[in-house]
DNA sequence: TATCATTGAGCAATCGATTGCATTTTTGTT
DNA sequence: AACAAAAATGCAATCGATTGCTCAATGATA
């Protein structure tokens, strides 16, 4: 027969002629247990192939060892890299990482939060969906004694621990770079204004222009999706304009790509005629010809910071600031390098 | 005070003046409970904000509602897309998806398997690490009453359900395409031979050439990592050769990229002088100039098939074949299109 | 009306680990 | 040698849901 029942601490106790409590304490390295006993227990556990029943422990302790991560889409370089970083750290601390994607739908976000809470996650690290404007589901989290950490797309009013990119500086750096390259007329392709990320990029961009007595009132296009397709539409709009801008800033690389392609199809030279810059430093940006100037979001650092915010919190290190800002890095490539 | 204890089925039972067993059965839609009672229970559960304690249920039932997914790296377009597909389906069926990455290390794979088993996953969907040659840890899975499904990087001898790309055809299609384009001398940059994926690509490639009375014995480079860096090294090796091949097939886009870049840096025209093709259809391949011919692995289909293999199995639909093969799609771009 | 199904619901044990409190054993002190 | 203090271990309740078995109520049938 190969259907051996799972070994429990009671089996170990029996074999060692001690009680289950002692076994439990020994395995948890409780100081009340002598080193000798601990050693015996561990040896026997090894020998009998003991594997703890996490569900039982969870039930008793009222918590699991899980961290939930909710993002719009997993197969976005930014998110998958952040998740990778999160997983790496979480695992060394004994946490499992449960993932969910919202596909930018509010309803999916709500459901994922509930499911994760039921699965007894100790924390939810979340990057909000584009649709999310109501936050009741997130308030459930603390009521159910789990932690909440925002990253990237945060909800400022909730005042929860959060990690965000310095998106203001994203806009500022790009604007300054454009100015350095001699641009005087600007285009801007932005996203929904209620998402902090997009709002801040816009602010950083426009305020820097204004500080230089310039503006780009005419050529602002706000889109909802920031896909390549939307980028193409925006590009067509630009071309229909009587006068092309010297430089266009897109808050997303994919949208930038759309513009980029339309411009090239219309034989409008990048960067000589119009410069283009995006955000995310997606892998493909490097390989366009010319390369697409973009802003690296330091996704790995963001992921790491997010888990660490949680880990520090439960380890009682309140010293850490509750709101972490990661600095972006402007990657200058051919699309903004005029000779 | 806001520290209300969690509502349990006992609280519901008390409020409804029935027993916890009845509540449990009602919530699980057990036919032994009348519709009237079910309705009352559900209403009260809603009203009191009842949320099940999954740990308790898991403990009692001896299983969780989790699916574990283990891959080399999450932030690879292929894997993140596959995981995305898995998550999407799993969630609709009430499963949580727990992820882990091995970074191609055997030891990480072993540890992840153990942790996941302890977390009571119902299944582990795995794409093996490049180092994995020993499979004891995987045998644990069935002993602990969980299912095992391989995808992409599989272990043939274990004869477990698996989903793989038709990698033989990958090699074959590329070879045929090269032949169509008039190539007669070939380079090949491959990976470790004990990984099914690489072996099959090689076989498909070489056997197609041989069927045409050609070979490429001279120019085979096997590497371990298949990174861009390794690709560059391989590219340099090619150039040092007295005679460049007409076409080079790299079993990975990143490695192909390395070769591609080195060739360009040495002003060797692609495709006129040498054609290059890769595998994975990474997003960047489309945006190189010229575009990099590659083979799409249909990662979404692979992910879907993997979960479904598991889901069908537990739903008792043994009709499905246990070994699924997904067809690749050759994407021809400029890097192999001679005028 | 008596009898037997049938249906609906309750009882109580169970899953395996944890933990407050009690008890036993050991060590140290005078 | 006697006893307090400290160290090590045991006892038993507990976490919340599930489930085999028993019991009660309702209805059908002769």
pLDDT tens digits, one per residue of B136-160: 999 989 888 899 999 999 998 998 9
pLDDT in tens, chain A (339 residues): 334 568 999 999 999 999 999 999 999 999 989 999 999 999 999 999 999 999 999 999 888 889 999 999 999 899 999 999 999 999 998 899 999 999 999 999 999 999 999 888 999 999 999 899 999 999 989 888 899 999 999 998 898 999 999 999 999 999 999 999 999 889 999 988 888 899 999 999 999 999 998 875 666 677 777 888 999 999 998 888 878 899 999 999 999 999 999 999 999 999 999 999 999 999 889 988 899 999 999 999 999 999 999 998 887 666 556 899 999 999 999 999 987
State the average pLDDT over residues B281-309: 94
Q: How many residues does chain A have?
A: 339
Residues 6+ apart with CB under 8 A from B198: B167, B190, B191, B192, B251
Pairing mode of beta strands A329-331, A294-296? antiparallel
Q: Which residues contact A150 (CB under 8 A, 6 or more apart)?
A: A125, A126, A127, A128, A158, A160, A161, A162, A163, A164
Give the strand order in the sheet containing B162-165: A323-326, A162-165, A147-151, A121-126, A66-71, A96-101, B96-101, B66-71, B121-126, B147-151, B162-165, B323-326
Q: Distance, angstroms, CA A38 to C1' C30?
A: 34
DSSP A100: E
- Asked if A45 reaches chain B (Cβ–Cβ under 8 Å), the answer is no
CA A277 and chain centroid, separation: 22
Q: How far is B261 from chain A (nearest CA, A)?
A: 10
Which has the closest alpha carbon to A165: A321, A303, A318, A310? A303
Q: Which residue is nearest to nucleotide C14 (CA to C1')?
A: B60
- On whether the CB atoms of residues B44 and B15 are closer than 8 A, the answer is yes
Residues A339/A306, Cβ–Cβ less than 8 Å? no
Residue pair B193/B202 in contact (Cβ under 8 Å)? The answer is yes
Q: What does the pLDDT read at residue B325?
A: 95
Q: Structure tokens of A71?
A: 């993002």
Q: Are A123 and A67 in contact (CB under 8 A)?
A: yes
What is the rounded CA–CA span in Å between residue B82 and residue B84?
A: 5
| Residue B26 to residue B21: CA distance in whole angstroms | 8
For β-strands B162-165 and B186-190, DSSP reports them as: unpaired
Q: What is the pLDDT of residue B313?
A: 85
Would you say B182 and B217 are in contact if contact means Cβ atoms under 8 Å apart? Answer: no
Closest CA to B218 of B192, B199, B238: B238
Which residue's CA shows the smallest distance to C1' of C17? Answer: A57
pLDDT computed for residue A321 by the predictor? 63
- By C-alpha distance, which of A101, A96, A103, A102 is closest to A123? A96
Cα separation, B338 vs B216, in Å, equals 20
Verify whether the Cβ–Cβ distance A119 to B96 is below 8 Å: yes
List all nucleotides in chain C with at least one atom under 7 A from a protein Cβ. 7-12, 14-20
More confident residue, B213 or A45: A45
Q: A284 contacts in B (CB within 8 Å)?
A: 283-284, 286-287
The torsion defined by the Cα of B226, B229, B231 and B234, in degrees rounded to 10, comes to: -120
Dihedrals φ, ψ of A147, to 5°? -95, 160
Taking the CA of residue B65 and the nearest CA in chain A, the distance in Å comes to 9
Q: Which of A97, A77, A66 is nearest to A283 (CA)?
A: A77
Strands (E), chain B: 66-71, 96-101, 121-126, 147-151, 162-165, 186-190, 220-222, 247-250, 275-277, 294-296, 323-326, 329-331
For position A308, what pLDDT does the model report? Answer: 95
Instruction: Estimate in Å the CA A33 to C1' C8 gap, whole number.
Output: 51
Q: What's residue A166's pLDDT?
A: 97
Among residues 288-317 of chain B, which lie with CB inside 8 Å of chain A?
A: 288-289
- Nearest beta carbon to residue A54 from set B65, B87, B119: B119
Strand D–CB B60 distance below 7 A: yes
Reduced to 3 states (helix: H, G, I; strand: E, B; else coil), residue A217 is coil
- Which among B97, B111, B283 is the nearest to A98, CB-wise? B97
* Cross-chain residue pair A282–B283, CB shorter than 8 Å: yes
CB atoms within 10 A of CB B157: 7
Q: CA-based angle A257:A259:A263, to the nearest 5? A: 115
Q: Report residue A59 CA to chain centroid gap.
A: 30
């Amino acid at each position: 027969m190969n259907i051996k029942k799972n070994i429990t601490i009671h089996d170990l106790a029996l074999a060692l002629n001690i009680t289950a409590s002692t076994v439990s304490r020994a395995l948890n390295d409780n100081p009340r247990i002598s080193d000798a006993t601990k050693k015996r227990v561990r040896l026997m556990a090894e020998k009998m192939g003991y594997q703890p029943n996490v569900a039982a422990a969870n039930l008793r302790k009222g918590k699991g060892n899980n961290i939930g991560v909710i993002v719009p889409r997993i197969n976005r370089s930014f998110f998958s890299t952040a998740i990778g970083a999160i997983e790496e750290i979480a695992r060394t601390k004994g946490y499992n990482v449960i993932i969910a994607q919202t596909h930018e739908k509010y309803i999916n976000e709500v459901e994922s939060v509930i499911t994760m809470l039921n699965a007894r996650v100790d924390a939810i690290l979340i990057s909000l969906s584009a649709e999310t404007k109501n936050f009741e589901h997130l308030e459930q989290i603390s009521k159910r004694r789990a932690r909440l950490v925002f990253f990237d797309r945060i909800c400022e009013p909730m005042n929860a621990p959060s990690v965000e990119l310095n998106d203001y500086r994203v806009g500022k750096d790009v604007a300054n770079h454009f100015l350095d390259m001699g641009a005087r007329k600007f285009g801007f392709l932005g996203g929904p204004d209620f998402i902090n990320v997009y709002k801040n990029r816009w602010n950083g961009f426009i305020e820097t222009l204004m500080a230089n007595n310039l503006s780009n009132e005419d050529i602002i296009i706000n889109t909802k999706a920031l896909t390549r397709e939307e980028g193409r539409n925006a590009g067509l709009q630009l071309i229909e304009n009587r006068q092309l801008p010297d430089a266009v800033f897109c808050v997303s690389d994919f949208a930038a790509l759309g513009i980029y392609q339309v411009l090239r199809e219309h034989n409008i030279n990048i960067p000589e005629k119009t410069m283009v810059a995006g955000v995310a430093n997606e892998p493909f940006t490097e390989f366009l010809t010319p390369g697409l100037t973009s802003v690296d979001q330091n996704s790995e650092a963001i992921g790491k910071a997010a888990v660490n915010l949680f880990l520090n919190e439960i380890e009682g290190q309140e010293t850490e600031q509750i709101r972490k800002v990661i600095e972006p890095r402007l990657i200058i490539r051919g699309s903004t390098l005029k000779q």
